[in-house]
Amino acid sequence: MKVTRKLIWQAIFVLALIAPQTAVAEWYGDVQLGVSFTDAGNGGIRQNGVVTRSMESSDTSTPFGLRAGCWLVHHPWLGFAADVFLFTPNFNTPDMVDDLVLTVLPMSALVLVRLAPESKGGPSAGGLIPYLGGGPSLFYTSMSEFAGAGVPPPAVLEDSSVDLGWTGLAGIARRFGKRWSAILEYRYTQVSPSLSSSHPTGTLKFEPDLQTHHFTLGMRLHF
């Protein structure tokens, strides 16, 4: 069942990437910077199956994203995009000296719906254009070296994982002339990586369900 689901999403991922080639389109690229808040359900360092350090949420992090996409000229309400979006949840507790830092990089294929497009050529200068979107994401998750209290030194936990997850977003764009827009966007990401490391005292595992809320500002170049 899991294999079938992955194959289906991989097919959707490929189709979403090639779909913009099938029609005349208004292309754009944008860059985004903002703040993220991560919850980690079932989050905790396990040593030989026993939780030695529980973590349910993280400090804020600063995400950075790049996106390329298009709006279809003949169906101006519909668009496609591919993007990368880097964020770094930083987990800690008051009684721990060392933080546990994840580097998370989702690569997403997105289907977008523009809620107030013009019938031809996209929105006019000065208009506020709300939009919604979402799609599958391929997440690369990396854990920094971590020496945790309650884990006999010199135990470390350092690993990476590649997993399928989800991205959903809602935003609003403000057009300035023909080339530029400012964007304000909310983005939700969900992924469940599996990170582990073996050492002389046993196996350490961290298998959280990461659910992250991102709020970003950005600039968009239309071409």
What phi and psi, each to the nearest 5 degrees, are found at residue 72?
-75, 130
Cβ-based neighbour number of residue 130 at 10 Å: 12
Query: pLDDT by residue (tens digit) across 194-210?
Result: 988 776 677 778 888 99
- Domain tally, the chain: 1
Query: pLDDT by residue (tens digit) across 149-202?
Result: 455 555 566 789 999 999 999 999 998 888 899 999 999 999 999 988 776 677
**Structural domain of residue 202, as residue ranges?**
2-222
What does pTM read for this prediction? 0.82
Q: So what's the pLDDT on residue 177?
A: 82
Kindly give, in sequence order, each residue whose CB lies less than 8 Å from that of residue 157, ignoring residues fewer than 6 positions away. 45, 100, 143, 145, 146, 148, 151, 195, 196, 197, 204, 206
Q: What CATH number does the domain containing 40 carry? A: 2.40.160.20
Q: So what's the pLDDT on residue 1?
A: 46
Of 74, 73, 64, the closest CA to residue 222 belongs to 73
Per 3-state DSSP, the chain is made up of helix, strand and coil in percentages (nearest 5) of: 10, 60, 30
Averaged pLDDT in 10-residue chunks for the chain of 223 residues: 52 53 76 94 79 76 96 90 94 64 94 75 66 96 66 64 96 90 97 83 83 97 91
